[in-house]
Amino acid sequence: MDRTGISRREALKILGAAALSGPSGLWPGPAFASRQEAARPNIVFILTDDHRWDHLGCTGHPFVKTPRLDRLASQGVLFENAFVTTSLCSPSRAGFLTGQYAHTHGVQNNLTPWRDENVTFLERLKQAGYDTAFIGKWHMPGRLPRLRGVDEFVTFTVREGQGRYYDCPLIVNGRETRPNKPYITEELTDRALAYIGQPRPNPFCLYLSLKAAHHDWQPPEDLTGLYRDEKLPLAEEADTWVTMTNGGVWAGTAG
């Protein structure tokens, strides 16, 4: 149960209704138009990278400022109890897209590639009459995917799979292009807002995948030094973690 009183099961029912109430006309007539529209909401999925769940204003962090995310949480659904089955970048990304465990979708670590036969929730929503877009960081091994059911696909080039915070080249629907904004979060956000603002007869689903706040932690110039005077204590396990990452199995990877 989240703070709005909506349970995880109820939230999934809403998404399921969106996927099932496709253009084939499951509702019997015009009198049900408003009900059909309510069952097919626009969906915006925002993924931040290497972002601790408790480093948000809405989860009670003492000094981290996330006003826009806090507003989304206050007006939407905030899950406060969640678990990750494979705590690595690529398997988690594949899990978000497919709803499957790593042993099913096949991306079991940061070295195993995405399978083009995987079915994403974007594909299911497209089949149900949604317009769909993926904007941002893909970061799974191998070539860029053939994502079925995605109308607009904007991501980093293969050679920039991890992306850059500044002046990051993009692939926009298969064509390489230069960014319009120097800072990648602003570039991706502008593209997302442009997509949301497009007039369309259909509901839409936007998957916005940001690079921040992944290493190497380069803020936009106007926010540099925002937390200069704050002290962030190390976790009790910090010394153990440093030892593991210096010599562990993932040492030297782009995790």
For 150-179, what is the mean pLDDT?
Answer: 92
What average pLDDT does the structure give for the chain?
84
Residue with tokens 């390489």: 176
Q: How confident is the model at residue 37 (pLDDT cuts 50, 70, 90)?
A: low
Q: How confident is the model at residue 62 (pLDDT cuts 50, 70, 90)?
A: very high
Backbone angles phi, psi at 29, to 5 degrees: -170, 180
For 28-47, what is the mean pLDDT?
Answer: 71
For 176-199, what is the mean pLDDT?
Answer: 97
> Three-state DSSP class for 7?
coil
Architecture of domain 40-215: 3-Layer(aba) Sandwich (3.40)
Distance of CA 166 to the CA centre of its chain: 20
Q: What confidence tens digit (pLDDT) does each residue in 22-36 have?
A: 433 333 444 445 556
In terms of DSSP bridges, do strands 170-172 and 175-177 run parallel, antiparallel, or are they unpaired? antiparallel
What's the rounded Cα separation, in Å, for the pair 100 and 130? 22
Enumerate the active-site residues. 89, 139
CB atoms within 10 A of CB 141: 14
What's the rounded Cα separation, in Å, for the pair 77 and 124? 22
Q: What confidence tens digit (pLDDT) does each residue in 105-131 have?
A: 999 999 999 999 999 999 999 999 999
What's the rounded Cα separation, in Å, for the pair 109 and 157? 20
Least confident of 18-27, 151-160, 228-237: 18-27
Report the pLDDT value the prediction gives residue 84, as an integer from 0 to 100: 87
Q: How confident is the model at residue 144 (pLDDT cuts 50, 70, 90)?
A: confident
Q: How confident is the model at residue 93 (pLDDT cuts 50, 70, 90)?
A: very high
Omega of the bond leading into 213 within 30 degrees of 0 (cis): yes
Cβ(129)–Cβ(23) below 8 Å: yes
For 186-202, what is the mean pLDDT?
Answer: 98
Higher-confidence position of 44 and 27: 44
